[in-house]
Structure 1
Amino acid sequence: MARFATYYIRYNEELAPYDWEDRQEHLSALFSQDNSITFGEGVPSDEQKKNGFHYAKIFNHRVYHLKCNPRIIVMQFANSIDIPLESKFEQSVVKDEPSLFVIIDNRKDIRTVAIQNRRKAFSAPKRVAKIMEDIITRTLFNDHCYSAEILPEYYPADLFKAWQEQQKHAQSLRFSSSEEMTYDEIMQSVEKLKDKDFYDNSLMPSLLQLALEAKKAKYKHKFTVMPEDKKTALNVDKTTTFMKNLVTLARATKEPVELVTKEGAVFKCFVEPEDDSTDKIVHHNLDDSWLEMLFKGKKKDGSKAESEDMAKAEAAVVELLNSIKHMSEDIEKKEDAA
C-alpha cells in the first residue's frame, strides 16, 4: 500500500492572457504524450547543450490517461541517481532510476494532484511538486502569460483547537497507530515525549499490543472515543489517563486524529501542527499495484491484466480522487492576491 500526499494546482493570472479560460486545456496539452513536456533542473554543460539538453538533469516520466476519463492523468516520475559500487577492488558508478507515481485530476474545475511519498525515489513529495511547478509555470508563462503553483493540503487544525471549536457537535474521536512503525520504534518515540503536556505512557504497552494483534489479523484498528450518552457533548478532555495515553500515542506515531461531528463531517488533525513539516500534509493510501498495472498491463502475479482488471484499477484511482477532490480557487487578477 502506497501513501499519497495531497497537493493542488492554483493558477495565477499575471498579464491578462487572452486564453485564461482555457487553462485546463493548456495543462492537458502538457501531458498529452510522454514527450509533450520535459522535466529537469540546473544549467546544462556545454557538452549537454551540444547534445540538445536544456537542463543539467532530466527527470524521465511517462503518462497514462484513464480510459474512463482521459482528463485524469497518471504519471510515473523517475529520479536518476548515481550509486557508487566496488567490484573486484575497483570503484565504479551505476545509474539507478527509482520512480514514484503522480496522479493529476484535471476534470472540469478540479485541481487535485496526488504525489506518492516514496523516499527511495525522492526525499519528499514537496521535491517532486517543486520540480513540476517550476517547469509547468515556465511553460505556461512563456506560452500563455500566466503562472501556476502546486500547493500542499495541510490538516486543518491542531486537535484541541478543532475539538474546542466543534465540541457541541462532536460525536467521536478516532485515534490510530502507525502501520509503518514497529512496536519498539513507537516506544522509543514515546520516551522522547516525557516533557510534553498531557504525557502518559501507562497504558501504552496494552494499546500497542491491541494494535499489533489487529495488524497481524489484517484488521484496520482505531481507538474510538465517544461520550456514554450520545445526546451529550464530547467535552474537551486533557486530564484523564485514557485520553493522555491516546494523545501520547498520536504524538509518537505522528498520525492524525479524526474528529467526527454529528453531521458526519471529519476533521483530521494533529495534536500540535507544524505547517512547515511534510508530515502535516494530508496523506491517503492507494495500492500502487493498480497503477503499475495501468502501465505494464500485468497483474501482481505477472499474468496479463484483462479489460475488467484494468477497469478495476481505473476505478480505484477515481475513488481516491473523488475522496480528495480539490475544486478551483484560482487567482484571476494579480491585485486580488494582495
Structure 2
Amino acid sequence: MDIKRSYKGAVEISVILLFTVMIFSCGKDTPGTIEPEKKNEKWRTTAVKDSIGNQYYVVNTLDNKLEIRVDNKEGKTIFAEVCPTIDPAEIPSEAAMVITGVATPNKYISINDATLVLKIVMDDVKIQKKYIQLLANINLDTKKFYTKKYKIEKPEDWTIVDYNNVVHWYQNTLLVREGTDYDLNRGGGFMGLGQRGTQLVCYERDFTIRYTKDIDANLASYPSGSGGQYIPINNFEDMAFRSDGLISRVQIVTSVEDEWAGKKDIVWQNDLKKSSNIPADYSVRITDYNIQGDEVIASYTIFDEKGNVKYKRTGKWALSNGFPRGYTTE
C-alpha cells in the first residue's frame, strides 16, 4: 500500500512538473511577454507628421544604409524602404546633419502619395556648402517608391529649392524649382529661400519629366507648397483658396514668352469679404472648398468685430470666369 502511494505521489509530482514546464515554455511565445525587438538603427531623424497622423522619418541602419520609414498614428510602421541612391559613405554620423520635410498627401490630387524631401549636409551644418538633396515619392497604398538625388559639391552643381516649394500638382505630378546652387543661394537665405531658380520642372511620380519651363520673367509666378489650399485644374493653372476668404484662379507665368502671349498670374479673383457686403471690421474664414464639374464651391463663415459667428454660407462660381452662381446661407 505504501509503495502504491509513493508511486502515485511520484506520478502526481511528475505531472505537476510537466505542466509547469509547459506553462513556462508557452509563456515565452506569448505576445506581451516577449522582449520588444530593438530597432535596427544607429540614429533616426525627428518625425514629420501629415494631417492624419502618419509620421515620416529617416534612419541609419546598423548595416549602414539610409532607410525611409512611415509610421501610422498608432505607431505601426506601414512603409520602410532602403534608399538605393544614397551610398553608405554619404550617410552622416548623426541625425542632426539631415534636414527633413514632407509634402503630404492631398485629397484633391492623391490621398496616398507623399513626397519626402531630404537635405544631407556633408560638411558643416552651419555652412552647408556641400550637401545632398533627395526627393522621395512614396505611395502608402501600393508601396511604390521613387527617388531623385542632387549632389552639390561646388556652386555650379544643380540643386532644388527647399521642401516648402515642392508642390503636388495636376494628375499627381510634382512641381520642383531647380537651378545651380549659385543661382539659388546668391541672394542669401537659408537653403535659398526667396530665390526663383533657373527652371520649373513638372515630374511624373517616377521622375520622368512631363514638361520644363524656364524662369526668366521679372514677375515670374508659380505655385508654392507653403500656400496650402489649392486644387490644380490643368498643367498650368490652379484654384487657390486662402483661408481669409480670397479665392483665385492662378496661372503659371515664368517667361517673357508667357508675358508676350498675354498670360497673367491672376485669371480671376473673388474677395469674399468684399463680395459679401459685410462691414469693414467683420472677417471671413473659408472652412471647405471643392471643384465639381465646371463649378467652384466654397463654404465660409462670417464673423463680427468681436469674433462671434454671424452666419455661414456656401457659394458657387463658374470655373472659367468666376461668375457667381448663387449661394445658400445657414
Larger Rg: 2
Range class of TM-score, shorter chain = under 0.3
TM-score (norm 2): 0.22
Looking at secondary structure, tell me which structure has more strand per residue: 2
TM-score (norm 1): 0.21
